[in-house]
Every structure is written in C-alpha cells, then in structure tokens.
Amino acid sequence: MASYLLRREHILLDLGYSVIRDKEGSAKVQTKQKKVLPYVEFGISTSMGCKLPLYNWLAPILLSLVNFVALSSAQAQAQLTTQSSAQLSGQIQGPIPAAIQSVQVLHWWKSASEHKAIDVLAGRLAQENIVWHDAIIPGGSGIGAGIVLKSRILAGNAPEIAQLNGVMISQWANLGLLLEFDTVASSGKWDKLFFPTVWELIQPRGHLVAAPLGIHRINTLFYNKKIFSKYNLAPPETWDEFESAAELLQKKGIVPLAQSSEPWQIATLFETLLLSESDATFYRAAFVTKESRAFNDLRFFRALQRLRFLKKFMQLPVQEQSWIEVTHLLASGDAGMLVMGDWAKGELNAWGVPTDVGFACVAVPNTANYHLYDVDTLVMLAKDNASRASQEKVAQLAVSPLLQAEYNQIKGSISVLRNPDLSKMDSCSRSSWKMFSRGSAVQVPSLAHRMATDEISKDAIIAEIVRFFMDDTISVADTQHRLAAISHSLPKRKAGNDAQNTYR
Ligand code: GAL
C-alpha cells in the first residue's frame, strides 16, 4: 500500500485546539491554555519506501483521547470525520452518512507555509461537509509524489485528487486518467477568469481537467535585508553587482549564496541562469523544443560557466539540503542571498520573517523582464461518479477570489485570476503579478517544475546539469555535447498542442 497520512486537525479545531507547525513543517496541536501537544495524525505503512513523518509513540494515545472527547462531545461533524478517516484506512467498516463526503488529496506540501496554505482550502471544504484527507509524499518539487501517484493508479488505488503540475496534466489527460469537469468551467465562466496561459494549461485537450491554485516565480533572488543594510549593499541588478556584494559578504564570513545539491534545486538555479544569459525564445529552444543547436550555443555555454562560477560563493562542498533548510540559512543570516521560487517567501513569512523587513526579493540579474513560472494545480482523478460532486466542489472553491487571495498570500505565489486584489499582495507578489500579467511574451515555463517539457526529457537534461555542477573536472563543452546528443533522442511533441509548447 502506498503511504498516506490522514488529517485529523478539523476535529481538533472543533474542540478548541489550534494547529501549529515548526519551521520544518512538523505539526503540533496547541490548546487554548497554550499547552503544546504532539500533532495527532496517524500514518499508514508503505511498501514504497517512503518515510512517514509525524509518527511518534504519543500519537496513538492522543488519538484515542481525541476520539473519545470528539465522540462524547456529540459533535456530529467531528464524529463523522473520524469515521471517514478510519474508513479510508480500512480500520472501521460501516456506511458514511450521505451528507459527509471525503476526498483524499495526494500532494507534496509539507512545510509550514504549504500546510497553512492548503489548510485554507481544507477549512473551506469542511464548511461544505467535505473532509480533506492529506496523502503527503514529502519531497521538494514533488519527485516522490509523482512516483507514488503512478504506482497507486496502477494498483487501482488512486486518490480522488492529486497535485499534478505542468506538462504532466496533458500527458495524464491523454491517457484518460483525469476527470473532465467542463460544466464547472462553463457555469463559473472560467474562460474569462484566468490568465490565458493558465486557462490553456488546465484544459489541454479542450476539456477542463485541473483546478489552478497559484503561480510561482522562479527567477527570484532573495536577500537578507538586515545584512544588506548593515554592509550598505544594494540588491544586485547585474552580475557585476552580484559579484561585488558576494565578495564583501564572503570577507565578512557570510555565505554569499545559499544552495543545495538536490537536483531540482540545482536545476532551479540553472534554468534561471540560462534565461539570464539568453531570452525567452532561446530558453524555449533549449528546454521546450529541445533543439540540439541550442545546447551547443554560446548562450548555453555562458550559463554553464556562470553556474560553475557561482560555486565559489556557496558553502563547499554543497550539501544536499531541503529547500526549507537553505531558506533557513537566509533567514538566520548565515547566508546573504538565495535563488529560489517564491514559495521561499511564503515560508519566511510563516516563520515570522516579514517581507521587506527580514528579507526582500528582486529578479535574478538580467531576468527582470521575464517571469519564469510554475503553476500549482490540482487534478481530479477519474474514478467513479460517487466522488464527482466533491471533486467539482474542490475545483470551484479553489478558484474563488477570497480563497485565491488568502491561499496565495500564505503560499508566496500569485493568484491565477486576472483581477486579483492587489492590496493583499506584498512587494514581491506585486512585481511577480505585474510581470506575469504582461502576457505570454514574458512568461517562461520552468524546466525544473515541469512546465517546459515531459518528465523523461526534464530528468535527462537535469542529470547532465547536475553532473556538471557536482564534478568540476567535467568541461562546459563536454556537457554541451552530451546534452546536444541526448536531445536527438528525447521525445518531441508537435508545437502548439498545449500551453507550454506554444510560441505565443
Ligand atoms: C514546486 C511547487 C511549489 C513548491 C515547491 C517546493 O514544484 O510548485 O508549490 O511546493 O515545488 O516543493
């Protein structure tokens, strides 16, 4: 059986507890008296080799306690929630009363801000008598989640809903695995609501198959505001400025650039550098249409060179750290700068580090006129009609203006709606929104976050970039030749068959 966790927090909230999480994403329950108790989730064992977080010896005791209180307080809702959770795990048999529906959602959001953001949606669903059960497969950028989702589908054990981003949406839709819910779109006039890029992304074959949540900007350079003020440094707009700031920070004993060796994090940095050394058209030639000439081009050469050059400003050897850990280096002032998607902003805020006080963000040098984007989406798995109403409700609620504003404020992303409430956005989000709303000419799909190409091509390209980054004996030219050679055998799609593959 694949791994999943069943969320209990709505029961706890009903009973007057609140859920708090530390910066690693571990959740705890706080009573009104401010007593901190371990969080009461329970895990289902896994044959996939995935770790089950939050599983400790206190959980069963607390679980029994909470169930007892929930049942005896005669809170019908809490009782039913308990039943449906247990039923999903196969522990309790018996009918679920018709009024209460439950959906299991497979995703990789485990950090403090990610949890808080989806809690907004789960909370709204609870008001509609729909219980949200987390199936969390931790792992930045969703590497593990994709694998578990595939296995569960093959085993005939698909969740109702899954986080599935980018090109994978069209691939899965082509296989007939996704629920089409066009009536939700037509009744909600979705075609008028969203940015065209988002609209095309979620209806790859002319049928709606995904609900969009938010848009992240990848080409974001975060800097520690206190350190920059202390040393009288201006946020770098050019690589020369970056270099002089980095050299000064290094002299002061501060790591200039926080970086992890996790492949997706190296790829996140590299794709930004490629954009910085070229433009949207060239970037697409490399990562969307995968033309071999692009990999042999001088602009690709320069991007690789810059990637290697930047290593001298990182803590060596570069460690395999989660994005939460590298973001923490920035927050603590151990590192001065960080290139990361703006989910890092959500996380910093969730730790109580406000935008423009503890940190601020600018575009990575030479990318200010682009928005390297990543759209978070939920797909509904085509199962049986019994779940359709709840699945459609999730989609409807996900795009409501209030939810969009609240969710994206917490998550660090921007709304997928064309006319969001700008007053709710901080300076980073406002500049992200302004850039994205300029249209497709400035929008560049992220390779690392699955917006540019299929999974096989993405992994093959990233593997070469990572080899190059980790091993200084591999030359730039060798890496270019290898990528150009590989590109001949990568799957190619017809231009224009989805949002990512269209030159617009
Ligand atoms: C991205 C995803 C973000 C965030 C990030 C780190 O792929 O779109 O929402 O979760 O990974 O895991």
The mean per-residue pLDDT over the stretch 354-375 comes to 98
Spell out a b/e string for 329-339, using b for 16 or more CB atoms within 10 Å of the CB, else e: bbbeebbbbbb
Q: pTM of the entire structure?
A: 0.82
Pairwise CA distance, residues 420 & 279, whole Å? 28
pLDDT in tens, 203-222: 999 999 999 999 999 999 99
Q: Mean per-residue pLDDT for 49-71? A: 39
Residues 283 and 338 in one domain: yes
> One-letter amino acid identity for 143?
I
> Is any ligand 1 atom within 6 A of the Cβ of residue 225?
no
Residues in CB range of 400: below 8 A, 6 or more apart: 124
User: Same domain, yes or no, for 481 and 365?
Assistant: yes
Report pLDDT digits (tens) over 375-423: 999 999 998 888 999 999 999 999 999 999 999 999 999 999 999 988 8
Residue 362 included in any domain: yes
Give per-residue pLDDT as tens, 432-485.
Answer: 999 999 999 999 999 999 999 999 999 999 999 999 999 999 999 999 999 999
Q: Which of 105, 118, 141, 321 to mutate to test the pocket of ligand 1 (most atoms within 8 A of CB)?
A: 141
Q: Helix-strand-coil percent breakdown of the chain, rounded to 5? A: 50, 15, 35
Domain boundary among 67, 94, 116: 67
- What's phi and psi for 390, nearest 5 deg? -70, -40
Q: Report the nearest-CA residue for atom 8 of ligand 1.
A: 376
Check: CB of residue 471 under 8 Å from CB of residue 272: no
Residue of higher predicted confidence among 249 and 16: 249
Q: Please indicate, yes or no, whether residues 363 and 380 belong to a single structural domain of this protein.
A: no
Residue 75: inside a domain: no
Residue numbers of the domain that contains 91: 80-216+375-435
CATH code: domain of residue 299? 3.40.190.10
Task: Report how far ligand 1's centroid is from the alpha carbon of 71 (Å).
Answer: 37
* Residue 449 in contact with ligand 1 by CB distance below 6 A: yes
pLDDT at 10 over 80: no
13, 38, 67 - which closes a domain = 67
Spatial distance between the Cα atoms of 144 and 137, rounded to a whole number of angstroms: 6
Q: Residue 410: phi, psi to the nearest 5? A: -75, -40
CA distance linking residue 96 with residue 82, whole number of Å? 10
The Cα–Cα gap between 177 and 204 comes to: 13
Note whether 397 and 260 are same-domain residues. no
Residue 344 has pLDDT above 80, yes or no: yes
User: How far is 405 from 421, CA to CA, in rounded Å?
Assistant: 7
- Under the banding of pLDDT at 50, 70 and 90, the label for residue 52 is very low
Q: What's the residue count for the chain?
A: 504
pLDDT given at position 373 = 98
- Apex CA 136: angle with CA 130 and CA 142, to 5°? 120
Residues 39 and 15 in one domain: yes
Residue 66 has pLDDT above 70, yes or no: no
Q: Report whether residue 374 contacts ligand 1, using a CB cutoff of 6 Å.
A: yes
CA angle 290–295–300, rounded 5-degree value: 125
Q: Tens digits of per-residue pLDDT, 70-91?
A: 333 333 333 333 333 433 333 3
Please indicate, yes or no, whether residues 44 and 98 belong to a single structural domain of this protein. Answer: no
The verdict on residue 255 lying in a domain is: yes
Domain assignment of residue 74, yes or no: no
- Average pLDDT of span 91-97: 45
Q: Is the CB of 142 under 6 A from ligand 1?
A: yes
Site to probe by mutation for ligand 1, drawn from 268, 343, 446, 451 as the one with most ligand atoms within 8 Å of Cβ, is: 343
Q: Are residues 147 and 177 in the same domain?
A: yes
Q: Considering the domain boundaries, does residue 72 fall inside one?
A: no
Distance CA 343, CA 116 (A): 12
- For ligand 1, the distance from its centroid to the CA atom of residue 42, given in whole angstroms, is 24
Of 216, 339, 458, the one to substitute when testing ligand 1's pocket (max ligand atoms within 8 A of C-beta) is 216
Domain check: are 185 and 201 in the same one? yes
Predicted local confidence at residue 269, as pLDDT: 98
What's the 140 CA to ligand 1 centre distance in angstroms?
A: 6
Cα separation, 268 vs 288, in Å, equals 15
Instruction: Provide the pLDDT confidence category of residue 38 given band limits of 50, 70 and 90.
Output: very low
- C-alpha 334/C-alpha 96 separation (Å) is 52
Residue 444 parent element (H or E): strand 443-445
The ligand 1 atom nearest the CA atom of 413: 9
| Distance, first Cα to last Cα, the chain | 43
- Asked if residue 190 is part of any domain, the answer here is yes
What pairs with residue 258 in β-bridges?
338
The residue whose CA has the least distance to atom 1 of ligand 1 is 141
Of 105, 424, 223, nearest to 414 by C-alpha is 424
Which of 164, 374, 432, 451 for mutating ligand 1's site (highest number of atoms within 8 Å of CB)? Answer: 374
Kindly state whether residues 143 and 288 are assigned to the same domain: no
Q: Cβ contacts of residue 181 below 8 Å, gap of 6+? A: 208, 209, 380, 388, 391, 392, 395
Q: How far apart are CA 501 and CA 483, in angstroms?
A: 20
What is the average per-residue pLDDT within 285-297? Answer: 97
pLDDT given at position 95 = 53
- List the beta bridge partners of residue 162: 106, 379
Q: Which residue has the higher pLDDT, 19 or 201?
A: 201
Is residue 34 over pLDDT 90?
no
Q: Is residue 485 part of a domain?
A: yes
Residue 397 Cα to ligand 1 middle (Å)? 21
Q: What is the pLDDT of residue 499?
A: 45
Structure tokens at 308: 């290697």
Query: What is the predicted pLDDT for the residue at 494?
Result: 54
Of 451, 401, 223, residue with least CA distance to 327: 223
| pLDDT at residue 239, rounded to an integer | 98
Q: Tens digit of pLDDT for each residue in 312-343?
A: 999 999 999 999 999 999 999 999 999 999 99
pLDDT digits (tens, 9 = 90+) for 106-132: 999 999 999 999 999 999 999 999 999
Q: What are the tens digits of pLDDT across the range 184-194?
A: 999 999 999 99
Q: Are residues 381 and 478 in the same domain?
A: no
Residues 255 and 323 in one domain: yes
pLDDT (0 to 100) of residue 493: 67
**Same domain for 473 and 358:** yes
Residue nearest to atom 2 of ligand 1 (CA): 141
pLDDT score of 107: 96
Tokens of 302: 């320069």
Q: What is the mean pLDDT of the chain?
A: 83
Tell me which of 43, 67, 91 is where a domain ends: 67
Neighbouring-strand partners of residue 376: 214
State the total domains in the chain. 3
Average pLDDT estimate for 149-168: 94
128 domain residue, yes or no = yes
Q: Tell me, what's the pLDDT at 383?
A: 84
